[in-house]
Amino acid sequence: MPPSSAQTGNAPTKARRRRGEGQWALGYREPLNKNEENKKNDDGLNVRDRIINVYSKAGFDSIDPADLRGRFRWFGLYTQRAPGIDGGKTAVLEPEELDDRYFMMRVRIDGGQLSAAQLRAVAEISRDYARDTADITDRQNVQYHWIRVEDVPAIWEKLEAVGLSTTEACGDTPRVILGCPLAGVAEEEILDASPQIEQIYEDHIGSPLYSNLPRKFKSSISGCTTHCVNHEINDVAFVGVRNENGETGYDLFVGGGLSTNPMFAKRLGTFVRPDQVSEVWAGVCSVFRDYGFRRLRTRARIKFLIKEWGAEKFREVLENEYLGYSLPDGPGPELDEGLRRDHVGVRPQRDGKFYVGFAPKVGRVTGTSLLRVAEIAETHGSDRIRTTADQKLVILDIDADDTAAITADLETEGYEVNPSTFRRQTMACTGIEFCKLAIVETKDRAATLIDELEKRLPDFDEPLSINVNGCPNSCARIQVADIGLKGQLVMDENGEQVEGYQIHLGGGMGLTNSFGKKVRGLKTTAEDLPDYVERVLRRFKDQKEKDETFAA
Ligand code: SF4
Report whether 363 contacts 427 (CB < 8 A). yes
Distance, CA 125 to ligand 1 centroid (Å)? 24
- pLDDT surpassing 60 at residue 8: no
What's the confidence (pLDDT) of residue 308?
Answer: 96
Choosing from 435, 439, 442 the residue with most ligand 1 atoms within 8 A of its CB, the one to mutate for a pocket test is 435
What's the confidence (pLDDT) of residue 18?
Answer: 54
- pLDDT surpassing 90 at residue 283: yes
Q: How many residues does the chain have?
A: 552
What's the confidence (pLDDT) of residue 303?
Answer: 97
Distance CA 444, CA 448 (A): 6
Q: How far is CA 22 from CA 195, 213, 257, 282, in A?
A: 35, 12, 21, 21
Phi–psi pair at 489, nearest 5 degrees: -85, 140
Choosing from 430, 467, 468, 499 the residue with most ligand 1 atoms within 8 A of its CB, the one to mutate for a pocket test is 430
Choosing from 104, 218, 437 the residue with most ligand 1 atoms within 8 A of its CB, the one to mutate for a pocket test is 437
User: Which one, of 357, 362, 369, 359, lies nearest residue 123 by Cα?
Assistant: 369
Q: How confident is the model at residue 341 (pLDDT cuts 50, 70, 90)?
A: confident
- pLDDT surpassing 50 at residue 21: yes
Average pLDDT over residues 295-321: 97
pLDDT tens profile 156-186? 999 999 999 999 999 999 999 999 999 999 9
In three-state form (DSSP H/G/I as H, E/B as E, the rest C), the secondary structure along 126-195 is HHHHCCCCEEECCCCCEEEEEECHHHHHHHHHHHHHCCCECCCCCCCCEEEEEECCCCCCCCCECCCCHH
Spell out the alpha helix ranges (H) of 276-402.
277-291, 302-317, 367-379
Q: Are strands 385-387 and 113-114 parallel, antiparallel or unpaired?
A: antiparallel
Q: How confident is the model at residue 15 (pLDDT cuts 50, 70, 90)?
A: very low
Which ligand 1 atom minimizes the distance to the CA of 431? 7
Beta bridge partners of 360: none
CA dihedral 404, 406, 410, 413 (to 10 degrees): 110
What's the confidence (pLDDT) of residue 362?
Answer: 93
Distance, CA 319 to ligand 1 centroid (Å)? 36
Average pLDDT over residues 431-452: 95
How large is the ipTM?
0.99
Return the minimum-mean-pLDDT range out of 179-183, 273-277, 489-493. 489-493
With vertex at residue 265, the alpha carbon angle to CA 259 and CA 271, rounded to the nearest 5 degrees, is: 155
Return the minimum-mean-pLDDT range out of 82-86, 215-219, 326-330. 82-86
H helix or E strand, kind and range, residue 404 = helix 403-412
- pLDDT surpassing 60 at residue 1: no
Report whether 24 contacts 289 (CB < 8 A). yes
Q: How confident is the model at residue 17 (pLDDT cuts 50, 70, 90)?
A: very low
Which ligand 1 atom minimizes the distance to the CA of 476? 5
Distance, CA 91 to ligand 1 centroid (Å)? 13
Q: Which tops the pLDDT comparison, 478 or 136?
A: 136
Query: Which residues approach ligand 1 with their CB closer than 6 A?
Result: 429-431, 435, 437-438, 469-471, 473-475
Distance, CA 437 to ligand 1 centroid (Å)? 6
Which ligand 1 atom minimizes the distance to the CA of 470? 7
Q: How confident is the model at residue 489 (pLDDT cuts 50, 70, 90)?
A: very high
Report whether 118 contacts 162 (CB < 8 A). yes
Which ligand 1 atom minimizes the distance to the CA of 474? 5
Which residues, at least 6 apart from 61, have a Cβ–Cβ distance to it below 8 Å? none
Which ligand 1 atom minimizes the distance to the CA of 438? 7
What's the confidence (pLDDT) of residue 551?
Answer: 65
pLDDT tens profile 28-40? 999 999 999 999 9
Return the minimum-mean-pLDDT range out of 34-43, 368-377, 511-520, 539-548. 511-520
Which residues, at least 6 apart from 166, have a Cβ–Cβ distance to it below 8 Å? 75, 76, 77, 105, 106, 107, 108, 156, 159
Report whether 327 contacts 411 (CB < 8 A). no
* Number of neighbouring beta carbons within 10 Å of residue 198: 16
pLDDT tens profile 68-109? 999 999 999 999 999 989 898 988 898 888 989 999 999 999
Distance CA 333, CA 162 (A): 35
Distance, CA 431 to ligand 1 centroid (Å)? 6
